[in-house]
Chain A
Amino acid sequence: MATKKAETQSPQKSELKPQNTNGAKSASVSAQTATAANGNNSTPPIGKNPYGIPDWRLEQLPFHIESDWADGEYRYKVVGDTTVPAPPLRPSKYLTKEKTIEIYRYMLINRRMEESLERLYKQSKVIGGLYLSLGQEACSVASAYALGQDDWLAPMIRNQGSMVVKGFRPRDTMMQYMAKGGSPTHGRESGSHYGDHKKLNVVAPISHLGDSISVVAGVALGARLQGKNIACLAFIGDGGQSTGPTYEGFNFAAVQKLGVVLIVEHNLWAYSTPVELQFACKDLADRSIGYGVPGVIIDGTDANQVYDATHEAVQRAYRGEGASFIEAKLMRMKGHAMHDPAVYVPVEVKEYWKRRDPILRMEKYLLEREWATQKQIDAIQSEVEKYMDEERTYAEESPMPDASEVGKDVYCDNAVEIGLKYGPVKVHNANESRKLTESSAPGHYK
C-alpha cells in the first residue's frame, strides 16, 4: 500500500530511487569534501542560522514533512530534495587520530550491541520492548567521549552507546533487556533504565521525558558545593523537549550557572509524530536564546562535530560559566521500538539518512585522512564482533532473578553510610557568628 501511494504521489520518485539504493559508499565526494579532506585541518567556515545561532553543519536539511490526504488516506509526504549526497565530516579541532579511532570503535560497539539485541529480540529472549539507536551512534558516543570521570551522564533510552563510553559494558544493557538477575538492576528495571551514582556517574533514565535534566542540575549544584565544577551531559529528544520538566530543569541549570550540557537530539520523529507537529520553530537551538545560554547547531551524524561541540561545552562547565545547549540534527532510523516498523516515515527520507550513516561516514573520513587503512578498519570490526559475542554469551547465561528478591531495597537502610562524593562542603559567603533568632516577620497567613 505504501509503495502504491508513493508512486502516485511523487513524480520525482522514479528519478530518486536508483540513486538512493547505493547508499553512502557510492555517494560522490563534493568539491567541499575534497578541500576539507585534502587540506587536512582546513575547516569550513561556521554558518549562522537566522537568529545568529552558530550552525556547524556542512549542509542544511533540504526537505521537510507535510501532512496530506491522498487516496482517501491521511499521511506524511516529503517536500524538497532527498537525493543530495552526504557531505564529509567536519575535521575536528580537538580529536587526535587515536581518539578518533577510539570513537569509531565505540560507535561500532554501539551498533553491534544493538544488532545483537535485535537478534535476541527475534529469538524472544528480550523481555518487553527494545529501543534502538540506529543512525544516532555518533551523537551518543562522541558526546560522552568528551566527559571526564567525575562528570555525569543523563542518557535517554536510546543513548545506550553513551553508557558504554561511560564505562558500562554491552553485557549490562543486554542483561537488562533480557530481565536477568545479573543485570545492574537485578531484573527490577528494563533496558537502558539503569545507572551508577558511585563510580560511573550515570543517572538511570526514566520514561518521563525531561525529568533527568533537573536531576543533573542538582548533581552539578551538589558538586559545586563540594568545590568542584563538573559537566553533566543530559540528552533529550525533539519530542521530549516539548515537556514542562525540560523547561524547568534547563532554566534552573541556566540561572544557577550549572554545567549542564543539554544535547537535544533532533531525530525528526517523536514516536510516530513528525517534528512539524511538535514545535513551530525550525531550529530548536533558537531556544538557547530564551534560556540565556550559548547554543549551537550540529550534524548529529558527524562524530567530529558532536565531540567538538560537547568538548567546548564541557570546558565551559569546568570554568564555572554554566550550561550549554547543543541541537544535534539526525534521524532515528528505526521505529520507536522494535514493534514499530516506522511505516509513517516516507521511504525517501530513510534513503536520505542511510547515506548519512555515522559509522560509514567515519570510516570514509579515516580512510581519506589516511588515519586508518581498510585492513585496520576490518581488524577493529572483527575485534568488536568477537567482543560482542563474548558479551552476549555472558548475558544469555546470566540467571533470571529469584522471586524471593521482590520487594527488597524499596528503602535504603539508615545504617548505610552516605558520604560526600566530591569532598567537604565549601561555602564562600556565610556569617558563622550569626545566631538563630525568633522569627518576627508576619507569615503568609495568620
Chain B
Amino acid sequence: MAPVTYLEAIRQGLWEEMERDSSVLVMGEDVGVYGGAFKVTEGFVHRFGTERVVDTPISEMAITSAVYGASLTGLRPVGEFQFMDFISSAHSQIVQVLAKSNYRWGAPAPLVLRGPSGGGVSGGPFHSQNPEMFYVHTPGLKVIAPATARDAKGLIKAAIRDNNPVLFFEHKFLYRRVKEELPEEDYIVEIGKARLDREGKDLSVITYGAMLYVAQEAAEILAKEGIQIEIVDLRTLLPLDNEAIRKTVEKTNRVIILHEDTKTGGLAGEIAAIINEEAFDSLDAPIVRITSMDAPVPFSPPLEKAFLPKVEDVVREARRLIKY
C-alpha cells in the first residue's frame, strides 16, 4: 500500500463510513460540486448524491443546528466548517443546543462537526486559529485533534459512530505534508485514548496536532545529546486520557506540555493541574508550557514564525529541565 496523506486519510474515513452506513451525510459550504475548500469531499456528491452531500448557505449556525436536527431523526450527519475559525459563528448552537441535548432532554446528538484549524500557512487571524479550548470547556462534547494520517482516519470513523456531538479539529498544515501507510482493514481509533508516539526515560513532551512534529524534531536533536524524550500524542482533548498523562510523568519525572493554541486558558494549564492532582510526587522539575503567545495569529511569515512554538524552544527548555 502506498503512503496516504493526512487529507486522504480523512477522505477515506468519511467515504468508507458513508458507504458502510447510509445514515451518514455531509453538510457544509461548497462541499458538493466544488468538493470543499480543502477538497475533503471532492467527488463525494457524484457517489452519494445531493441528498447526502448537502451544499448549504453561508450560515454556520444554521449548518450546526440543522446537522443536530437531522441527528434527532437518527441520522449521523457530519457538518463541515470551511475553516474552524468560523466555529465561533456557531458557538451558541454548539455549547447551548448540541452539548446539553442529552442531559437536558435525553435526546442524543450523534453528529460530527469537522474542519481545518491551525496555523503555519499564513492564513492570518481568521484562517489559522486553534479554537478547541472553548469546546474542551463544554461538558457534553467530545473534542478530537489528530496528528497523524492513521489516527485521523481511525478517529473520524470513531467520531461518526459515536452517539455524542464530536468536534473534529483537523490541522490544515498537515493535510498534504504528512503521509503514512494505513491498515487495509476497516479500523477505528478509540476516542479518549492518547498514543505513546516515542518512548524515552528522561523527559515527557505531552502534545497534540501539528506540534507533534515539532516535538519529534526536538527529540531527534536531544537524542544526539543522550537525552531520551518521551512523546505523548493526546489525540483526544475531551475526554482527556488522564491515565496516559499520569503514567508518562511517573516514568520520566519531567514534563513539557506543548501546543499550538495560545497559552492563557490553553490545554497545557489543564494538564498541569491534572499532573498536580495525580502525579505531583513524581515531579523532579517544574512543569513547562510551550505554546503560541497570547496574541491573534499574525499573517506575515516572519511574524507567524515568531508567534508559533519552535523546535528550538523545546530543545532549550528540555535541556534546562534535565539540569534542574
In the complex, identify which listed stretch (A129-137, A356-364, A426-434) lies at the interface while the others stay far away. A426-434
* B48 & A206 in contact (Cβ 8 Å cutoff): no
* A445 & B123 in contact (Cβ 8 Å cutoff): yes
* B65 & A218 in contact (Cβ 8 Å cutoff): yes
Residues of A within 8 A of B56 (CB): 252
The chain B residue sitting closest to A422, CB to CB, is: B73
In the complex, identify which listed stretch (A76-84, A85-93, A181-189, A298-306) lies at the interface while the others stay far away. A181-189
Q: B33 to chain A: closest CB distance in Å?
A: 11
Q: B295 to chain A: closest CB distance in Å?
A: 20
Q: A67 to chain B: closest CB distance in Å?
A: 30
* B65 & A249 in contact (Cβ 8 Å cutoff): yes
**Residue among B47, B57, B61 with the highest chain A CB neighbour number at 10 A:** B61
Docked complex: A179-205 residues within 8 A CB-CB of B: 184-185, 188-189, 193-197, 203-204
Q: B318 to chain A: closest CB distance in Å?
A: 31
Distance A252 CA – B59 CA, assembled complex (angstroms): 8
* A204 & B104 in contact (Cβ 8 Å cutoff): yes
Q: A1 to chain B: closest CB distance in Å?
A: 39
* A429 & B107 in contact (Cβ 8 Å cutoff): no
Residues of A within 8 A of B102 (CB): 409-412
* B65 & A414 in contact (Cβ 8 Å cutoff): no
Assess whether B300 is interfacial by the CB under 8 Å rule. no
**Residue among A212, A412, A422 with the highest chain B CB neighbour number at 10 A:** A412
In the complex, identify which listed stretch (B6-14, B222-230, B245-253) lies at the interface while the others stay far away. B6-14
Residues of B within 8 A of A222 (CB): 69-75, 77
Assess whether B46 is interfacial by the CB under 8 Å rule. yes
Residues of A within 8 A of B265 (CB): none
Q: A216 to chain B: closest CB distance in Å?
A: 6
The chain B residue sitting closest to A434, CB to CB, is: B47
Number of interface residues of B (CB under 8 A): 72
Residues of B within 8 A of A216 (CB): 69
Distance A104 CA – B270 CA, assembled complex (angstroms): 57
Residues of B within 8 A of A419 (CB): 74
Q: A366 to chain B: closest CB distance in Å?
A: 36
Residue among B8, B54, B104, B176 making CB contact with A185, cutoff 8 Å: B104
* A434 & B163 in contact (Cβ 8 Å cutoff): no
Taken residue by residue from 421 to 442, chain A's Cβ proximity to chain B (1 for < 8 Å, 0 otherwise) reads as 1101101111110111111011
The chain A residue sitting closest to B172, CB to CB, is: A445
* B43 & A436 in contact (Cβ 8 Å cutoff): yes
* A194 & B105 in contact (Cβ 8 Å cutoff): yes
Assess whether A343 is interfacial by the CB under 8 Å rule. no
Docked complex: B42-56 residues within 8 A CB-CB of A: 42-43, 46-52, 54, 56
Taken residue by residue from 226 to 255, chain A's Cβ proximity to chain B (1 for < 8 Å, 0 otherwise) reads as 100000000000000000110011011001
* B50 & A429 in contact (Cβ 8 Å cutoff): yes
* B104 & A189 in contact (Cβ 8 Å cutoff): yes
Assess whether B303 is interfacial by the CB under 8 Å rule. no
* A221 & B35 in contact (Cβ 8 Å cutoff): no
* A226 & B62 in contact (Cβ 8 Å cutoff): no
Assess whether B175 is interfacial by the CB under 8 Å rule. yes
Residues of B within 8 A of A184 (CB): 105
Assess whether A446 is interfacial by the CB under 8 Å rule. yes
Assess whether A418 is interfacial by the CB under 8 Å rule. yes
* B47 & A188 in contact (Cβ 8 Å cutoff): no
* B139 & A431 in contact (Cβ 8 Å cutoff): no
* B104 & A225 in contact (Cβ 8 Å cutoff): no
Assess whether B93 is interfacial by the CB under 8 Å rule. yes
* A195 & B68 in contact (Cβ 8 Å cutoff): no
Residues of A within 8 A of B12 (CB): 436
Residues of A within 8 A of B47 (CB): 430-432, 434-436
* B66 & A214 in contact (Cβ 8 Å cutoff): yes
**Contact of A248 with B49 at beta-carbon distance under 8 Å, contacts A414-B162, A446-B121 already known:** no
**Contact of A252 with B62 at beta-carbon distance under 8 Å, contacts A428-B49, A431-B47, A443-B39 already known:** yes
Distance A251 CA – B65 CA, assembled complex (angstroms): 13
Assess whether A444 is interfacial by the CB under 8 Å rule. yes
Distance A215 CA – B92 CA, assembled complex (angstroms): 13
- A-B pairs with lowest CB-CB distance, top 3: A218-B69, A222-B73, A218-B66
A-B contact pairs, 17 of them (CB 8 A): A185-B104, A197-B72, A206-B97, A213-B65, A214-B65, A226-B75, A251-B62, A410-B103, A412-B164, A420-B73, A425-B75, A431-B49, A434-B46, A435-B47, A436-B47, A438-B8, A446-B121
